[in-house]
Chains A and B, each alone.
Chain A
């Protein structure tokens, strides 16, 4: 009996050590809010009339200077690669909501149903930009996007993986006798998206974004769990008009139509935003963008960028 108790106790001690270590690691969130002052500064410096918020699809799709000239307004583009609704919410809350200057319009560029999917792209490499744009307490994000129960472990994981990969990069750079920035650039040059076959990138992207759960397309159910109502109310309070732009995806140029579930979702989103004094522009069925305008994945090429910027300028001018 005594042997068994000692056996169990030893396992318990080991378990406590491991769990304690994980919890300790999770408490060290390096760089929390580090990006906010820089973003605030950039915003104040431009003092834009229109702020565009989105991810790499926005970066690849809109020519800031051209749009500014076409609309005769100051435009500011706030984007983070791979970002989704949580990053957009944090940007509105911690940057747009806190600057002295008030823009006239905030435009969010989104795809499909990701606007009401707060858990989308919040883990792994996507966690760092979120952490850097977060205040020490972000209860809404923790509750809706991260899920409180797994937070410690997920934070610890994001930290550990980030540190490990940074260390690997440094070691590799030292090994070949270059500095880490050169190493980082080399990696981007050789394995960057621009070096890949667009068709393969698109296939992989679609595979990773497959809607496995039809509940994600149930607008009413998703709305209460999403950050969209909070984004709308924050911008309303500040007196900023919100415009939602649904971008056309590469696959929309090849598909005959959308599924009934997606159509229904868009109809409900449209009704909801209309009731809340928000404009919705849907470019999914706009024939001016064709397959030849796309680069890898949903990113537009230079010609696509020019066409899309014109399309956006036209629509925004009509509002």
Chain B
């Protein structure tokens, strides 16, 4: 079930009413758990089997970890193997199989390429990371395992954030599941701006911009100008799309009395790669930092060579997490390289520009590099990108210029209602009726300018 479908609106309305009719948190949790499984298995019911298996495995591992001292390492290994195994089979099997096949073929060996003809279970990367963090935190002794199975299962499957995050930590989310929740009107007034902004960003900005971006990335050989405009469009599309999902997830959770973590903090205002990763997909970047980068020794490396290895491994893995294709790995590697270069130039970590002029230059450079990164991320494959870069026209013909201006203007126009929203949100809370009036205008904008053929959220495929 997707947030932009009519089915979801009906589903949410029913769940919302039934949920607040329950007076007891245990009943509320059971209801939410059932609702989450209905939500997840709405199109492919077998997805629920995977989710349930992952839940049971980590619940048992979590409990077993505190019962025994002797086999703690083994139990953690079992949990890691199980969760990463699920990801490996359902997400990466075909990728690895195709690459092994290609490598063997290059060596002159002919073998049949094994292919799994299955649909990628949506959100598998998100809930796998969530359950992994639970077990690792128990292993580290910073979290106590939960005995209440329903509470834990709800932590894994909570439907607003199940398929595209934010990736919640047990330490933040489980206490919310375990406390009593009472309806307050304040929750509604916190939720509806989030829901509105989410739907506006997804249906008006992301889905309309996607029409042009998709065209650019299907061209046989776009000129550099068109590729640049397409990539800028994609930068807007992916941010609008993903932050829209987060907003709707947060708004929905708020309606049910939960507070999910924020995933974005104005990423396109970043002035360096480190700054970018402190602003973009926060729940994922902090996960990668805490469970990959730091355990690899990234925070206390002594040699420059080791630092390079740790950063590159971390970033390539984060690229691979996004999708089973080499261009995602290249995107991760590109960001890894940027982090290293900036670090070498003394601009890494918490570097802040000293003057406004430096800040402006740093911002412009970073935005350009981010867009280059998004080109790697969005391109259909690296071969296509290589062809484009080597074969493309460097000059700008009349048609290219006109088409480029039209696409850029269209993208900017569809982004305007979002900009208006950001501006009004920055106004003081005393201007309540200006903000409220604009929210009703947002309703009209969604009704009038929503793309009639809504597309899936980009992060669903990860």
Contact = CB atoms under 8 A, between A and B. Distances in A.
Interface of A: 10-11, 14-15, 17-18, 21-22, 25, 123-124, 153-154, 156-158, 160-161, 164-165, 168-169, 171-173, 175-176, 178, 182-183, 185-187, 189-191, 195-197, 200-201, 204, 208, 212
A276 to B, nearest CB: 33
B406 A183 contact: yes
A185 B402 CA distance: 10
B416 to A, nearest CB: 10
Q: Taking chain B's interface residues, is the majority helix, strand, or loop, or is none over half, making it mixed?
A: helix
Nearest to A126: B452
A190 B226 contact: yes
Given A14-B436, A186-B398, 15 more contacts: A10-B436, A11-B440, A156-B448, A157-B447, A164-B413, A164-B449, A168-B413, A172-B405, A182-B402, A187-B403, A190-B400, A190-B404, A191-B219, A195-B220, A208-B453
A14 B410 contact: no
B285 interface: no
Which 7 A-B pairs have CB atoms at the shortest separation, nearest pair first? Answer: A123-B452, A190-B403, A124-B452, A186-B402, A160-B448, A186-B399, A200-B218
Nearest to A196: B218
18 contacts: A10-B436, A14-B440, A18-B443, A18-B444, A25-B448, A124-B453, A157-B449, A164-B413, A172-B406, A175-B405, A187-B403, A187-B406, A191-B403, A195-B219, A196-B220, A197-B220, A197-B384, A212-B43
Contact of B437 (A14, A124, A187): A14
A303 B441 CA distance: 52
B220 to A, nearest CB: 5
A82 to B, nearest CB: 12
Contacts of A157: 447-450, 452
Nearest to A195: B219
A125 to B, nearest CB: 8
B45 interface: no
A159 B400 CA distance: 28
Contacts of B407: 191
Nearest to A184: B406
Nearest to A121: B453
Contacts of B404: 190
B72 to A, nearest CB: 46
Given A18-B440, A168-B409, A169-B406, A191 B447 contact: no
A154 B449 CA distance: 10
Nearest to B402: A186
Interface string B209-224: 0001011111110000
A183 B448 contact: no
Q: Considering residues B226, B410, B449, which has the most beta carbons from chain A within 10 angstroms of its beta carbon?
A: B410
Q: Taking chain A's interface residues, is the majority helix, strand, or loop, or is none over half, making it mixed?
A: helix
A319 to B, nearest CB: 37
Nearest to B43: A212
A153 B451 CA distance: 13
A190 B447 contact: no
A178 B403 contact: no
Contacts of A176: 401-402, 405
B77 interface: no
Given A168-B409, A175-B409, A204-B214, A10 B433 contact: yes
Contacts of A204: 214, 218
Contacts of A158: 452
B380 interface: yes
B451 A124 contact: yes
A25 B447 CA distance: 11
A173 B405 CA distance: 8
A78 B450 CA distance: 31
A270 B301 CA distance: 72
Interface in B376-407: 380, 384, 398-407
A190 B43 contact: no
Interface in B177-193: none
Contacts of A201: 218
A142 B450 CA distance: 21
Contacts of A178: 398, 402
Contact of B212 (A25, A156, A191): A191
A170 B12 CA distance: 42
Nearest to B217: A200
A190 B447 CA distance: 31
Nearest to B444: A18
Interface string B37-62: 00000010000000000000000000
Contact of B218 (A14, A173, A197): A197
A124 B409 CA distance: 20
B453 to A, nearest CB: 6
A15 B398 CA distance: 46
B405 to A, nearest CB: 5
Contacts of A187: 402-403, 406
A290 B88 CA distance: 37
Nearest to B226: A190
Contacts of A15: 440
Contact of B215 (A11, A171, A191): A191
A168 B219 contact: no
A51 B31 CA distance: 59
